[in-house]
């Protein structure tokens, strides 16, 4: 039987993607301790806890067996949706699969400094827009990133010489620099680089993320909107400050 199907008869296609995902890095396997801290986080940032998908990282736990089902139940009770587990020994992997979760191997990504602006060969862009490669690993994009468009630098910093419209998305393994208005979504440190940051000349972002730590528009101080800012992690919290 031929496996060649025309598009009219296809029910789906597989595509690669770099979806934004929060990583919940566990330093304790005690469900009650996790519950207590989540309750505190919920009171601080209720907008974040709106059925947000998370990856449970157990790389810092030296335990072959975890109460994974109870930990997932605690997360769901606080409106977090565990979708996968990262790290852990074979029993952890098997438990994740038994619970219908995905499993990722431990993250071995290398950290980058905020000052590094590296970049790689340009990818295909929409007609009429130009992108230039910069030094190894990162990327410069020239022009407006339009609604529905995604521009990525999977190995370094991303520099956008233009605006990022609402509904657009820019992602980088390193830092994101926007020399214009940032109205869409900006995600830096997508492989877990906590030293990455976001820099823009006019903040109006729908969502900001550094190494999986998020702020939505409603969580941003209104006084910062429309101003040039820098975004980074401080004590595992997203911090937004004015650029002078």
Residue pLDDT, tens place only, 154-212: 889 999 999 999 888 899 999 999 999 999 989 999 888 899 999 999 999 988 989 87
Entry pTM: 0.52
Question: Residue 7's pLDDT is what?
Answer: 62
- The CATH architecture annotation of domain 130-242 reads 3 Solenoid (2.160)
Span between the terminal Cα atoms of the chain, in Å: 66
Question: Residue 98's pLDDT is what?
Answer: 87
| 10 pLDDT higher than 90 | no
Q: Cα-atom radius of gyration of the chain, to the nearest Å?
A: 20
Residue pLDDT, tens place only, 21-36: 778 889 999 999 999 9
**What residues does each domain of the chain span?**
22-104, 130-242
Question: Residue 128's pLDDT is what?
Answer: 34
- Could you tell me the fold of the domain covering 22-104? Alpha-Beta Plaits (3.30.70)
Strands 130-133 and 139-142: antiparallel
Per the CB < 8 A criterion, the answer to whether 125 and 119 are in contact is no
Within 10 A of 117 (CB to CB), how many other CB atoms are there?
19
| 112 pLDDT higher than 60 | no
Contacts of residues 181-188 at CB distance under 8 Å and 24 or more positions apart, as own/partner, are 184/145, 184/147, 185/20, 185/209, 186/231, 187/20, 188/231
Phi/psi at 95 (5° precision): -65, -40
């Amino acid at each position: 039987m031929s496996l060649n199907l025309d598009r009219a008869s296809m029910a789906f296609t597989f595509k690669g993607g770099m979806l934004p995902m929060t990583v919940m890095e566990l330093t304790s396997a005690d469900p009650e301790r996790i519950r207590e801290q989540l309750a505190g986080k919920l009171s601080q940032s209720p907008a974040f806890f709106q059925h947000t998908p998370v990856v449970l990282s157990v790389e810092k736990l030296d335990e072959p067996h975890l109460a994974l089902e109870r930990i997932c139940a605690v997360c769901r009770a606080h409106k977090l949706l565990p979708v996968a587990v990262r790290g852990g020994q074979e029993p952890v992997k098997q438990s994740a699969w038994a619970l219908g979760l995905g499993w990722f191997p431990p993250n071995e990504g290398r950290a980058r400094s905020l000052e590094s602006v590296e970049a790689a060969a340009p990818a295909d862009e929409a007609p009429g827009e130009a992108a230039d490669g910069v030094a190894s690993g990162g990327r410069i994009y020239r022009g407006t990133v339009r609604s529905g468009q995604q521009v990525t630098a999977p190995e370094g910093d991303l520099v956008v010489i233009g605006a990022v419209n609402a509904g657009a998305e820019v992602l980088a393994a390193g830092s994101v620099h926007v020399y214009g208005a940032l109205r869409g979504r900006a995600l830096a440190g997508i492989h877990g680089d906590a030293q990455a940051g976001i820099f823009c000349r006019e903040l109006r972002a729908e969502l900001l993320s550094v190494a999986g730590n998020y702020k939505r528009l409603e969580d941003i101080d209104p006084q910062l909107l429309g101003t040039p800012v820098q975004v980074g992690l401080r004590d595992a919290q997203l911090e937004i400050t004015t650029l002078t």
